[in-house]
């Protein structure tokens, strides 16, 4: 079964299978600039704050996620599996890349819009 995951930093959404971890779903967005680390709960690069929804979690290194963080929903995207629609905020080292990419998208859209609005050449 698939669930909808929303990245609150950017408003982007993606579908993620219950048996796939959220980081794998994020990678499917195929956005450059998302740093992917160990994919195994040890480096902390994929830290997210879950704002809503249900998920299963697997063991995470205490070196990168404290028990208090985990209890408060701050977890590693590579170690959580959605069991309902989820809302997450990227808070780890990945956050800057995610938010920078959002700005880059805006710039690209503006450039495209400029081109579209140019008057057609007269023949």
Question: Does position 38 bind ligand FES by CB under 6 A?
Answer: yes
Tokens describing residue 48: 């997210």
Tokens describing residue 115: 């081109």
Strand bridging mode 12-17 / 2-7: antiparallel
- Min dist CB 101 to ligand FES, Å, is 18
Q: Which is nearer to ligand FES, 15 or 58 (CB)?
A: 58
Q: Are 28 and 7 in contact, with CB atoms under 8 Å apart? A: no
Name the burial class of residue 25, with classes exposed (0-12), middle (13-18) and buried (19+) by CB atoms within 10 angstroms of its CB. buried
Question: Does position 5 bind ligand FES by CB under 6 A?
Answer: no
Question: Does position 37 bind ligand FES by CB under 6 A?
Answer: yes
Report 49-88 residues binding ligand FES (CB under 6 A).
76, 78
Question: Which chain residues interact with ligand FES by CB under 6 A?
Answer: 23, 36-39, 41-46, 76, 78
């Amino acid at each position: 079964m698939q669930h909808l995951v929303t990245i609150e930093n950017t408003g982007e959404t993606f579908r993620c299978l219950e048996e796939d971890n959220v980081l794998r779903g994020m990678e499917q967005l195929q956005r450059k600039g998302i740093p992917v680390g160990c994919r195994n709960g040890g480096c902390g690069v994929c830290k997210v704050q879950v704002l809503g929804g249900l998920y299963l979690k697997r063991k995470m290194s205490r070196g990168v996620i404290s028990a208090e963080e985990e209890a408060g929903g701050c977890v590693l995207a590579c170690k959580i599996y959605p069991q309902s629609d989820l809302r997450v905020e990227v808070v780890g080292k990945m956050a800057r890349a995610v938010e920078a990419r959002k700005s880059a998208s805006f710039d690209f859209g503006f450039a495209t819009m400029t081109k579209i609005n140019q008057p057609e050449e007269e023949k």
